[in-house]
Amino acid sequence: MYCGTYILLERDFRELRQNNFVGISASPVSDNMLKWEAEIEGLQDSMWQGLRFQLVLTFPSEYNHVPPVVKFTSIPFHPNVDPNTGRPSIDFLDNPAKWNPSYTLSSVLLALQVMLSNPMLENPVNLEASQTLVKNEYLYRKIIHTLSQEPGQVEDKSQESSTKSYILRNKEPVTFSDYYKAWSEIATSKTTEQYRNSLFEDPNFIGKYYRWRKMDLQCYKEWKLK
C-alpha cells in the first residue's frame, strides 16, 4: 500500500544527505518512513542565526500528491507559526491545490528555513509576534532569542569562557504561553540577582541606612521652610 510512498521518501532522504544543506537535518522516526523528525537552524546573517527548532513531519500515504503535515515541536515566536499548534502557515502546506508533486522533503525544510527570516505579515497566524516585529524589532529579537533558551539553563554571560548555548528540544508542542511564562520568570530572576545588594542583608547597615534617610527627610523639610 505504501510502497510508492516509501520509494519517494527514500529518494528524498538520499537527496537531503547528498546535498548536505547547512542548518537542515531530518530522519525517519521508525521503519515505516511516514513520520519524521527534523531540525532547522536560522539562516546566517539573520536575527535567527544560531537558533534551532525541531519539527515533526507526517507523510500521508498519498505523498507526493499531497503535502505532509508539518508541526514545530519547539515553537518559534513567529508571525507565520501558530503559537498553539506549531503549524507553519505556508500556502503549499495549507492548501493541497498549491502543492507541487515536484516538491521534496528538502524543498519543505528549505522553505521553512527561509520563512523564519522572511515572515509574511499580511495574514499572520500569530498576531502578537507580527505586531511586536513591526513596532519594536529590537524587542522582537530579544524575545526570540530568550524564548529559544531552555528554561532553567540560561547561558551565564558572566562567565566569558562559557560559549555553550542552550536550545529548547522538547518533543511535545510548547505553546507561546508556556514560553512567555518561562521567559518572564527568567527575566525576573535575572533582574533580582543582578540588583540584589548584600549590604541590605546586614542588620547593622539597615539601622544606619534608616537613620540617614530620617536625617535626609528632616533636612528636606528644613530646606522647604526656608
Digit-by-digit pLDDT tens for the chain (226 residues) are 578 899 999 999 999 999 999 999 999 998 889 999 999 999 999 999 999 999 999 999 999 999 999 999 999 999 999 999 999 999 999 999 999 999 999 999 999 999 999 999 988 999 999 999 999 999 999 999 988 774 433 233 333 333 232 233 333 443 444 434 433 443 333 333 333 333 334 444 445 444 544 454 444 444 444 4
Distance of CA 159 to the CA centre of its chain: 24
pTM comes to 0.65
Instruction: Say how far apart CA 125 and CA 167 lie, in whole Å.
Output: 24
Distances (CA, A) of 45 to 50, 59, 61, 126: 10, 32, 38, 24
**Would you state the torsion angle of the CA atoms of residues 16, 21, 25, 30, taken in this order, to the nearest 10 degrees?**
0
Sign of dihedral through CA atoms 76, 80, 86, 88? negative
Burial of 113 (0-12, 13-18, 19+ CB in 10 A): buried
Q: Could you state, in order of their start, the residue ranges of all structural domains in the chain?
A: 3-195, 198-226
Using only the alpha carbons of the chain, give its radius of gyration: 25
Distances (CA, A) of 85 to 18, 23, 68, 113, 114: 32, 23, 15, 18, 20
C-alpha cell at 40: 532547522
CATH class of 3-195: alpha beta
Sign of dihedral through CA atoms 124, 125, 127, 129? negative
Torsions phi, psi of 184, nearest 5? -65, -40
Question: Which pLDDT belongs to residue 69?
Answer: 97
